[in-house]
Structure 1
Amino acid sequence: MSGIQAGTDERLRRWRLVLGGEPGAEGTGRALTGRDAAMDGALGALYGGGASGAGERGAGLGASAPSVARWLGDIRTYFPSSVVQVMQRDAIDRLGLAALLVEPEMLEAVEPDVHLVGTLLSLTAAMPETTRETARAVVRKVAEDLEKRLAARTRATLTGALDRAARVSRPRHRDIDWDRTVRANLKNYLPEHGTVVPERLIGYARAARGVKKEVVLCVDQSGSMAASVVHAAVFGAVLASMRSLATRLVVFDTAVVDLTDQLADPVDVLFATQLGGGTDINRALAHCQSRITRPADAVVVLISDLYEGGIRHEMLKRVAAMQASGVQFVTLLALSDEGAPAFDREHAAALAALGVPAFACTPDLFPDVMAAAIERRPLPIPEAWPGAAANAR
């Protein structure tokens, strides 16, 4: 019986937290005290819509950096990290607190995440020098956490793909992979002679000794693509660390910036971006096309919501020309954990008609997408994505 009562009490407590601390919530028969009252105050400051009083919940955050910093500390005390990140995003969106993030005490109090990094990058032009190092520390923590999560699997997946893509069935004698050749022909073992008859030779093309593939990440840095820019910078650094890949990172809005020389440090890459502005995909692709030296061994990944501000038909002609030259072309409408983005469906359909996949991709799926592109096999497009079957061609 005591267990049932405890469960009932907990449900009433949760309902009271949902309803808030104002008098109208007293029907639960529960009072908010101690930690519960503090949690309600933190929620009310963000979602209550004004100063406390009858019929209103919470005290509001005001526009003071110290008070917001205290609130950020409170929510980290009372809520798990995933909830804290949601509340921070809501505070920035609902209460217009982005400008306060240029204050050092604010940055020291926040829970770093990808969305916060996007907000910080959009504020770099207004950020005072005294705050810049603190902001870099926040961005570096997020970048390092992402790299720990993604790097090992990305390298392992792509190394396997590169090995498979580089194998040839009629290699020169000095390019034969004898270990794989013997294993592939064990069925042809002749015990009376103590030898294996190699009916099928396995080896590597000459390109396998150095750079095997060129990878170009062409990333839209318009404001809606902030999370994708962060992930692309981290993946770019990971790919650039693989000697068998020649990796290039290009970001664009109406201008095009090649950040390949800064790929050693994703933080440098991110602070070199300028989130916001228009979009000229055709101009960005023209730059990428001009930098490709071996089209048959090149993979171009366009990361964009496809809201083209440039010349649409020229963009499509350029994509078709790159494909005709042998380039493997992939379009990611987003590279983030957020699911399906808003995107230009007309342009996505036009690309699909060219046989170019266009879909949203999570960071965890990206290594498999790249591996499939390198091996020139169908991409692992999420089945729930509209047009997945057509785009998988």
Structure 2
Amino acid sequence: MSAGTEERLRRWRLVLGDAGNSDGTGCSLGGTDAAMDRTLEALYGSRGGRNGGKGTSPGGQGRGGERSAGLGGSAPQVARWLGDIRTYFPSSVVQIMQRDAIERLGLSALLLEPEMLEAVEADVHLVGTLLSLNKAMPETSKETARAVVRKVVQELEKKLASRTRATLTGALDRSAKVNRPRHRDIDWDRTIRANLKNYLPEYGTVVPERLIGYGRASQSVKKDVVLCIDQSGSMAASVVYASVFGAVLASMRSIDTRLVVFDTNVVDLTDDLDDPVDVLFGTQLGGGTDINRALAYCQSKISRPAETVVVLISDLYEGGIRDEMLKRVAAMKAAGVQFVTLLALSDEGAPAYDREHASALAALGAPAFACTPDHFPDVMAAAIEKRPLPVPEA
């Protein structure tokens, strides 16, 4: 048997679990592979193999009713398993396996224990789970939970802050047109387009009657940004990213940022924007949704509509008064507000959302679309400059 064939059989054996022996691989595992197989079996041991079957119960019942490896309900046992998967798999795979363990085996309650929190590989999804458990979390776990959340937030800020500030600073400068700029501040693209009527074909040139320049930072008009975030359970990752972006925007002098979260109640967390961890622990994931009530609050805080961008982050499953919600959006847009609707702000792919409400908003000139964190600065820059929003292709 060739080395390539042996490697393929080995991989199939790891994918299929114990079913691999009965389904034809005939491959036995030893050493590190056997240990890796045990960590997979603890989570994915299944009727019919790992590739598509149901997961084991927390008690670890495996194929054919026979007891197989499992995580059980013991925090020390789960903590050891978390250590094992970090030994055998890369970080990206570890995060997926942790997420699957929480969903398949119902381990959320164990995250309330400090030793468990210290063992996990922190990511956005884990933060969302911790926030959903916030109210049930014992005091002994809260300090550790905040440390886990802070680690993720700091990593996100490091990744996202520089580009966001650079992109939005450019947008703020360009939004302030200067008609008598110094030579180095001339926006040649806008100047040429504004003076095309003065094109002289015999000379192949444009004679500019009016120069348009970039506004310098000190000349930029200050913008007001309102982030209105749905904190229903399905929006967990979006809440995390939006809180980080809120803190970044609040750090910019030319942007006055307000952050509002809502379910059936509305909470203004603007005073906590200097620390996104405080913002996140001020949310309460889950519950119903009243978008109309949240927009009514945001609308009441707008004093300069022509210089305001409202960003609604919601899957649009409205539990409030639909017609009033749409009327509020229409009224804000008529007053000059730039209104942005994001169905999700995350890397999770296409979200589930209320298509009827999305279509109604699009008809008002407020298209609703999902947005990745990497794309968010470009969306905000377009809103600030009052350009068409760069809606990603479906």
Specify if TM > 0.5.
Answer: yes
**Structure 2 unaligned residues grouped into runs of 5+:** 46-55, 193-206
Q: Quick check: 1:51–1:58 contact (8 Å CA) kept in 2? A: yes
Q: Supply the distance in 1 between the matched residues of 2:216 and 2:160 (Cα, whole angstroms).
A: 30
- What is the alpha-carbon distance in structure 2 between the residues aligned to residue 93 and residue 180 of structure 1? 55
Matched, 1:318 2:328: yes
Q: Is 1:8 equivalent to 2:18 in the alignment? A: no
Alignment TM-score, normalising by the size of structure 1: 0.88
Q: How do 1:265-304 and structure 2 match up within 5 A?
A: 265-304=275-314
- Looking at structure 1, the residues matched to 331 and 187 of structure 2 have their Cα atoms a distance apart, in angstroms, of 42
What letter matches 1:152 in structure 2? S
Once residues 383 and 53 of structure 1 are traced to their aligned partners in structure 2, the CA distance between those partners, rounded to angstroms, is 43
1:114 corresponds to 2:114: no
User: Is structure 2 residue 177 aligned with structure 1 residue 180?
Assistant: no
Supply the AA of the counterpart residue of 2:336: G
Normalising by structure 2, what TM-score?
A: 0.88
SS in 2 for 1:168: coil
User: Which AA in structure 1 matches 2:38?
Assistant: G
Q: 2:247 is matched with which residue?
A: 237
C-alpha distance in structure 1 between counterparts of 2:185 and 2:63, whole Å: 77
Secondary structure of 2:339's counterpart equals: strand
Change in Cα spacing, 1:52 to 1:274, as seen in structure 2 (3 Å) is closer
CA contact (8 A) 1:177 1:202 kept: no
| SS of equivalent to 2:24 | helix
Displacement of 1:21: 3.3
Q: Please report how far the alpha carbon of residue 29 of structure 1 lies from its aligned counterpart in structure 2 after TM superposition.
A: 2.8
Cα RMSD between the aligned structures?
A: 2.5
Q: How far apart are residue 51 of structure 1 and its match? A: 3.6
User: What does residue 123 of structure 1 align with?
Assistant: 133
Contact 1:234 1:266 in 2 (8 A): yes
Q: How does 1:34-113 map to 2 (within 5 A)?
A: 34-48=31-45, 49=56, 51=60, 55=64, 58-113=68-123
Contact 1:262 1:268 in 2 (8 A): yes
**Structure 1 residues 34 and 208: alpha-carbon distance in aligned structure 2, compared to 1, 3 A threshold:** same
Partner of 2:149: 139
Paired residues, number: 368
Match of 1:31 in 2: 28
Aligned to 2:364: 354
When structure 1 is superposed on structure 2, of 51-60 and 101-110 the one drifting more is 51-60
Report the Cα offset of residue 328 of structure 1.
0.4
Aligned-partner Cα distance in 1 for 2:14–2:108 = 28
Identify which of 258, 261, 267 aligns with 1:257.
267
User: Cα 1:274–1:199, aligned 2, differ >3 Å: closer, same or farther?
Assistant: same
Percent identity for Structure 1 against Structure 2 = 78
